[in-house]
Amino acid sequence: MKNRFDKKELNNLYWDKKLSIRNIAVIYDCDSRTIRNWMNKYGISRREVGIAWLGKPRSEDTKRKIGLANKGKVLSGDTKKKISEASKGDKNHFYGKHHSEESKKKISENSYWKGRSGKLHSKWKGGFIKYGGKPQRFYILKPDHPYSNSDGYIPYSHIIAEKALGRYLKKGELVHHINGDSFDDRNDNYLICNRSYHSWLHGQIRKRDKICDPFAKGGW
């Protein structure tokens, strides 16, 4: 009795016609494992993962199913490493290529984040961020403020102080946090002073704290 799983035909379907093992199983009306076992028996090598789909667009329904199937899954460190290694250098399908200006425009127009920045962003917090070195403090988005930084932010303490003063802070004026908590932006926790007095004040605070606690921090 002739074996219906012909080596030449299997090889042709898999390598020449680029069919997946699942699709070949449908043709033979059998289980995928049966096709896999016969391929192993005949010594038919396998393609790399994803080659069968290379250049073929997936339908929206297929994308949705893949998304649902992968939802909540966490990749192991070993898997992440393999993915990273597989896309490095000339292994990356885009290696040595560059986007045309037209492609860049399309990417920009179809970006997930387009129309979701600022107040429309899901993590919008009213324009407040923690910013700066040591100490950090609250900054607020005020791009029209004359003293805002390149990103359009300014210390929130400056806004509160200016509101109380009824004017912008003058050049060289600083806002000192009396209790040392740079996130405590109450009016009664502010002292408006110039840079030299601010430096002298912190020197006194450090001397005081060194006596009381050598590891304590002075006010800001």
Up-side HSE of residue 63: CA atoms within 13 Å toward CB?
5
pLDDT > 90 fraction of the chain, expressed in percent and rounded: 22
Supply 128's token pair: 């407040």
Q: Is residue 134 part of a domain?
A: yes
Q: Which residues pair with 137 in a beta bridge?
A: 131
Return the minimum-mean-pLDDT range out of 15-29, 100-114, 189-203. Answer: 100-114
Which residues contact residue 110 at a Cβ distance below 8 angstroms, ignoring those fewer than 6 apart? none
Which residues contact residue 122 at a Cβ distance below 8 angstroms, ignoring those fewer than 6 apart? 116
Q: Which domain holds residue 176?
A: 128-212
Q: Is residue 96 part of a domain?
A: no
> What pLDDT score does 99 carry?
87
How many domains does the chain contain in total? 2
Q: Are 137 and 158 spatial neighbours (Cβ–Cβ below 8 Å)?
A: no
pLDDT (mean) for 152-177: 91
pTM: 0.43
> What pLDDT score does 220 carry?
52
Up-side HSE of residue 172: CA atoms within 13 Å toward CB?
4
Three-state DSSP class for residue 129 = strand
Q: Greater confidence, 71 or 200?
A: 200
Q: Greater confidence, 118 or 193?
A: 193
Mean of pLDDT over the chain: 82
Using the predicted structure, report yes or no on whether residue 180 has a pLDDT greater than 70: yes
Q: Is residue 170 part of a domain?
A: yes
pLDDT (mean) for 59-76: 83
> What pLDDT score does 51 carry?
60
pLDDT (mean) for 18-42: 90
Around Cβ 131, how many Cβ atoms within 10 Å?
Answer: 16
Using the predicted structure, report yes or no on whether residue 1 has a pLDDT greater than 60: no
Last residue of a domain, one of 38, 53, 68: 53
Residue 189 is classified by DSSP as G
Q: Is residue 189 part of a domain?
A: yes
Q: Greater confidence, 23 or 119?
A: 23
Q: Is residue 208 part of a domain?
A: yes
